[in-house]
Amino acid sequence: MPSSPCHVGLVFGGASGEHAVSIRSANTVVAALRQGANAERYRLSCFYIDSWGRWWGEAVAEAVLTSGTAAAAADLPDPSAPRGFRGFPDGALAVEVWFPVLHGPNGEDGTIQGLFTLMGVPFVGSGVLGSAVGMDKQAMKAAFAAAGLPQVPYACVEAAQIEAAPPAAVEALLDRLEQELGYPCFVKPANMGSSVGITKASDRAGLLAGLRTAAALDPRVVVERGVRARELECAVLGTHELQASVLGEICFDADWYDYTTKYSEGLSHTVIPARIEAPLSETARTLALAACRAVGARGLSRVDFFYNETSGELWLNEINTLPGFTSQSMYPMLWQASGVTLEELVHQLVVGAQDSCRGFEALGEPA
């Protein structure tokens, strides 16, 4: 007699600047879980976290997925409900495996992973440690440095050094950053993704403005030396045994790969597999796996690189432990080029989540 379908709970949206990207990613994953063999394997329930952090059940979730846009407060059944998590909607406690499709703070940073861990329910992706370290660029870069992995020169800044510091201290900070990194340089909030809040500074005024922009979004800021480089990406899949995909390259005509370029049709394109020599590809794939191990990532990750064709230098840029699944996202496209269809990819992610919990199940019930 065939077993009953596994009940998967997909959660998306979130109190994050990447809310809109999450909705787009969720629609792709939902379609993959409801087609082909997955339609028989899984019973899918969708749950929506609005921009205020409140959880909503299937009726609201499906409406948001259909519209493709964030729910306005007036459209929600009880807009006067308190902010943040206060309990699960109906049906959530019956979920057997959670599939978070959340980007940025309050979803990609270990917070929701901690909730699922306390519940004792399997979930797709990295655990609390890998999610938190992979999300925070200061912690991520420190982990990469401790593992001896190559990175462009960078400096860490705290928002208080900009917002509450006397003018002389701010000037001293700018002097130090100019001396260590020079121009151009990139200023990034430590805990945002999808290029949100990132600015390119070409002079002192631009550096100060970029620091203020980043500090308004995050108390922790990273400043990186700008390098002339190609942008390569590698997808990683697996729980106990990690696998690396073929490499892809992001090509664009803009000055740099900002949010508008990343998510607007026609402003960028991908080349998969990347047109690079086989030895370089193998080096990058090896570094991608090392990056995952350095931060404790599992399940799925996308690792980004800078490659200077003239010098031959290859630098780790960052790791993304819940990469996008939109129609323009590299993660599913890289696996498609590696022979893993979208339908099979999401299936492997759910199976990997179940496998990751089997060690705990073996401990048995408490006495």
Within-domain flag for 121: no
With tokens 């090392």, the residue in question is: 290
The overall average pLDDT reported for the chain is 90
What is the distance between the alpha carbons of residues 33 and 39, in angstroms, rounded to a whole number? 6
What is the distance between the alpha carbons of residues 137 and 293, in angstroms, rounded to a whole number? 16
Same domain, 232 and 346: yes
Same domain, 334 and 251: yes
Q: Which residues pair with 156 in a beta bridge?
A: 222
Least confident residue range of 12-16, 166-170, 262-266 = 262-266
Confidence of residue 78 (pLDDT cuts 50, 70, 90): confident
Q: Which CATH number characterizes residue 243's domain?
A: 3.30.470.20
Same domain, 142 and 266: yes
Report the pLDDT value the prediction gives residue 327, as an integer from 0 to 100: 75
Q: Does residue 168 register a pLDDT over 90?
A: yes
Cβ–Cβ under 8 Å, residues 107 and 324:
no
Task: Report, as an integer, the average pLDDT of 82-102.
Answer: 93
Within-domain flag for 24: yes
Find the Cα–Cα–Cα–Cα dihedral 320, 345, 231, 69, rounded to 10°: -70
With tokens 């002079």, the residue in question is: 203
| DSSP codes of every residue in 298-323 | -EEEEEEEEE-TTT--EEEEEEESS-
Our CA angle for 363, 113, 93, nearest 5°, is 75
Report the pLDDT value the prediction gives residue 91, as an integer from 0 to 100: 94
Task: Report, as an integer, the average pLDDT of 318-331.
Answer: 91
Same domain, 257 and 330: yes
Report the pLDDT value the prediction gives residue 269, as an integer from 0 to 100: 82
Task: At 306, give phi and psi (nearest 5°).
Answer: -110, 135
Q: Which domain holds residue 203?
A: 154-225
Same domain, 257 and 329: yes
Within-domain flag for 74: yes
Same domain, 91 and 221: no
The pLDDT tens digits of the residues spanning 7-43 come to 999 999 999 888 999 999 999 999 999 999 999 999 9
Which among 289, 197, 156 is positioned nearest to 234, based on CA atoms?
Answer: 289
SS3 72: coil
Task: At 252, give phi and psi (nearest 5°).
Answer: -155, 155
Report the pLDDT value the prediction gives residue 365, as an integer from 0 to 100: 47
What is the distance between the alpha carbons of residues 320 and 303, in angstroms, rounded to a whole number? 6
Within-domain flag for 116: no
Task: Report, as an integer, the average pLDDT of 169-197.
Answer: 89
Same domain, 236 and 257: yes
Within-domain flag for 1: no
Task: At 273, give phi and psi (nearest 5°).
Answer: -70, 155
The percent of residues above 90 in pLDDT, for the chain, comes to 78
Q: Which CATH number characterizes residue 35's domain?
A: 3.40.50.20
Cβ–Cβ under 8 Å, residues 41 and 5:
yes
Q: Does residue 366 register a pLDDT over 70?
A: no
Report the pLDDT value the prediction gives residue 73, as an integer from 0 to 100: 86
Q: Does residue 1 register a pLDDT over 70?
A: no
Q: Which CATH number characterizes residue 220's domain?
A: 3.30.1490.20
With tokens 């290029």, the residue in question is: 195
Amino acid making up residue 55:
W
pLDDT: which is higher, 360 or 339: 339
Amino acid making up residue 193:
G
Task: At 185, give phi and psi (nearest 5°).
Answer: -140, 165
Q: Does residue 316 register a pLDDT over 90?
A: yes
Same domain, 275 and 348: yes
**Total count of domains within the chain:** 3
Same domain, 171 and 145: no
Report the pLDDT value the prediction gives residue 265, as an integer from 0 to 100: 58
Same domain, 237 and 303: yes
Same domain, 73 and 187: no
Report the pLDDT value the prediction gives residue 11, as an integer from 0 to 100: 98
Within-domain flag for 338: yes
Q: Does residue 146 register a pLDDT over 50?
A: yes
Which among 203, 293, 284 is positioned nearest to 239, based on CA atoms?
Answer: 293
The tokens for 254 are 């803009």
**H runs (alpha helix) in the chain:** 19-33, 38-41, 58-67, 111-119, 128-135, 137-146, 160-163, 167-181, 204-217, 259-263, 278-295, 330-337, 342-356, 358-361
Q: Does residue 65 register a pLDDT over 70?
A: yes
Among residues 165, 199, 225, the one where a domain terminates is 225
Among residues 201, 225, 249, the one where a domain terminates is 225
The percent of residues above 70 in pLDDT, for the chain, comes to 90
Within-domain flag for 119: no
Least confident residue range of 49-58, 297-306, 322-331 = 322-331
Same domain, 139 and 284: yes
Among residues 195, 225, 255, the one where a domain terminates is 225
Within-domain flag for 113: no
Confidence of residue 254 (pLDDT cuts 50, 70, 90): low
